[in-house]
């Protein structure tokens, strides 16, 4: 398998972060766009789940994939937040 082929398998937040780095390079926009992506994934998962419950022709595997995608996005955002807080604490401790 080619390494380039793996990039298409990455979750959307990774691709969105790479695009922000290329375009703006602003740290603030990176988090804003990541939060928007997480929110979009959650809303999409909720919509697909509701469509499945209402019997609108959505398959169970689509519901599971959308749910896992949303969960992975939230996990990524949580880990980034945790690492950012740890970094801030470390920098604060170093400056004292």
Q: What is the pLDDT of residues 23-41, one digit of tens each?
A: 555 767 888 888 999 999 9
| Average pLDDT per consecutive 10 residues, the chain (96 residues; last block may be shorter) | 54 56 65 91 96 93 95 94 93 84
Query: pTM score, two decimals?
Result: 0.65
Total Cβ atoms within 10 A of residue 73: 22
Per-residue DSSP letter, 10: S
Phi (first) and psi of residue 8, to 5 degrees: -70, -15
Residue 1's pLDDT is 44
Residue 17's pLDDT is 54
Domain spans, the chain: 11-95
């Amino acid at each position: 398998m080619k390494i380039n082929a793996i990039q298409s398998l990455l979750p959307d937040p990774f691709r969105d972060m790479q695009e922000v780095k290329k375009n703006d390079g602003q740290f603030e926009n990176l988090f804003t766009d990541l939060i928007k992506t997480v929110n979009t994934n959650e809303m999409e998962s909720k919509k697909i789940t509701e469509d499945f419950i209402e019997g609108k022709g959505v398959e169970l595997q689509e519901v599971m994939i959308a749910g896992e995608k949303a969960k992975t996005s939230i996990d990524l955002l949580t880990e980034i937040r945790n690492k950012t807080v740890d970094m801030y604490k470390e920098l604060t401790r170093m400056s004292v």
